[in-house]
Amino acid sequence: MPRESLTESASPGRMSFESAPRRRSPFIIAALTAASLLVAGCGRGAPGEAQGPGAGAPPPLPVTVLEMQPRKVPIALEAVARTEGSREVEVRARVAGILEKQLFREGEPIRAGAPMYRIERAPFEIALAQARAALAEVQARADRAQLETTRLQKLLAERAISQREYDDAQSSRQQTQAALLAAGAAVRQAELNLSYTAVDAPISGVAGRALRSEGSLVTPGSDSALLATLTRTDPIWVRFALSESEYAQLRGVDERAAKVTLTLPDGKRHEGAGRLNFTGSTVDPKLGTVQLRAEFANPSLALLPGQYLKARVEIGEREAFVVPQAAVVQTDRGRFVWVVDASNQADLRPVETGGWVGRDWVVHRGLQAGDRVAIDNLLRLRPGTPVQPKAPADAQADSAAGAAGAGGPR
């Protein structure tokens, strides 16, 4: 029997123990190698992940910053204003009578002296004729008294009459002369009353609503006497008030050089500037304000009487810092801006703001020349946040590049 057969039959257990490792050793080595690679891969971490003690720190936040430099800004005082006509006149009836005609159109411009109403003339024509007749009668008596006085004066010189008779004649002549003056005044009054039947525009302006219609009885001294109103709108006046502190700034400059501009109710700026034509000399004890008034040219009726506007009085210039409206954070503790320091970290700084220059805030206190103020990504900023500052031009270029890439083929 061969040797190999005897060995297997005599010692089967030993044969199995020695031969199995020789057959399975390649598989064990491969498994150990895979496990080693897996452990090494877990130790290295994912590709691109930061290693070392700084692992997990976020990258700097990109923000656009403006470097502060002082510039000249206007010194402006703002207040709510109301427009009014430079002249506002009530058209009233000056004699009693029936309105026969209305000769104007409501709401349209009208020139001074243009006819507006006609009141019934007949009663006043009759009154004028009676006054003239009375004047003629008195004139005749005055002429007779004059002749009588002249005749008696000759007789007095001849001592044909007494001095008393002559004095009586002289007194009668003087009385008729006074009656003549009164009769003449009555004629003038009758003529004036007749002229009042023609109601003409006293000024040039825009006619208001007709308050009495044709056929109405009007009476001077009563509510029915008011017929309409006329308002001169070119130039137009704008009335407003300033506080004592604001008025003190205005008093320190030449008021004639002050420039007044208007902002309309829709937010648009009114074309053209006005000038101050009145400043109050007293302070309202209840409100602590001083009344002012400006005058504006208004040939196209762009401004109407009674409008509420915002008046802005520019009284000079001064140097200040200007930041966009979006850069100012407003809280219950005041206004703040985010400032980027030399180490590119954000810091919240309180500021004192003034008026507006366009859509920007004027900052009086809290900033210095060279400060870098963040103007975007403000909601993501926290004190000490590392940032990557960008100039406004760079930010616009990045936005344009991003928009171009988004619009390209995909």
List, for residues 378-397, the tens digit of each pLDDT value.
888 899 989 999 988 755 55
Is pLDDT above 50 for 198?
yes
Q: What's this model's pTM, rounded to 2 decimal places?
A: 0.61
Torsion of CA 99, 100, 106, 108, to 10 degrees: -120
Distance CA 400, CA 379 (A): 23
Is pLDDT above 80 for 129?
yes
- Using an 8 Å Cβ cutoff, are 77 and 250 in contact? yes
pLDDT tens-digit readout, 323-336? 998 899 988 889 99
Q: Could you tell me the fold of the domain covering 62-75+319-400?
A: 2.40.420
User: What integer pLDDT is reported at residue 65 of this predicted model?
Assistant: 93
CA nearest neighbour of 116 among 205, 194, 221, 188: 205
Phi, then psi, of 61 in degrees rounded to 5? -85, 125
User: What integer pLDDT is reported at residue 185 of this predicted model?
Assistant: 96
Mean pLDDT of 37-57: 43
Percent of the chain beyond pLDDT 90?
Answer: 54
CA nearest neighbour of 220 among 90, 89, 94: 94
Give the total residue count for the chain.
410
User: What integer pLDDT is reported at residue 308 of this predicted model?
Assistant: 94
User: What integer pLDDT is reported at residue 300 of this predicted model?
Assistant: 87
User: What integer pLDDT is reported at residue 120 of this predicted model?
Assistant: 95
Distances (CA, A) of 109 to 114, 233, 235, 336, 362: 11, 10, 14, 53, 43
Question: What CATH number should be reported for the domain whose range is 121-196?
Answer: 1.10.287.470
| Domain(s) of CATH 1.10.287.470: residues in the chain | 121-196
| Domain(s) of CATH 2.40.420.20: residues in the chain | 62-75+319-400
- The answer to whether domain 233-317 has CATH 2.40.30.170 is yes
Q: How confident is the model at residue 398 (pLDDT cuts 50, 70, 90)?
A: low
The more confidently predicted of residues 21 and 295 is: 295
User: What integer pLDDT is reported at residue 57 of this predicted model?
Assistant: 66
Residues linked to residue 361 through DSSP beta bridges, in sequence order: 323, 356
User: What integer pLDDT is reported at residue 405 of this predicted model?
Assistant: 46
Mean pLDDT of 94-102: 95
Residue 269 belongs to what H/E stretch? none
| Domain(s) of CATH 2.40.30.170: residues in the chain | 233-317
Is pLDDT above 70 for 401?
no
Torsion of CA 372, 377, 381, 384, to 10 degrees: -40
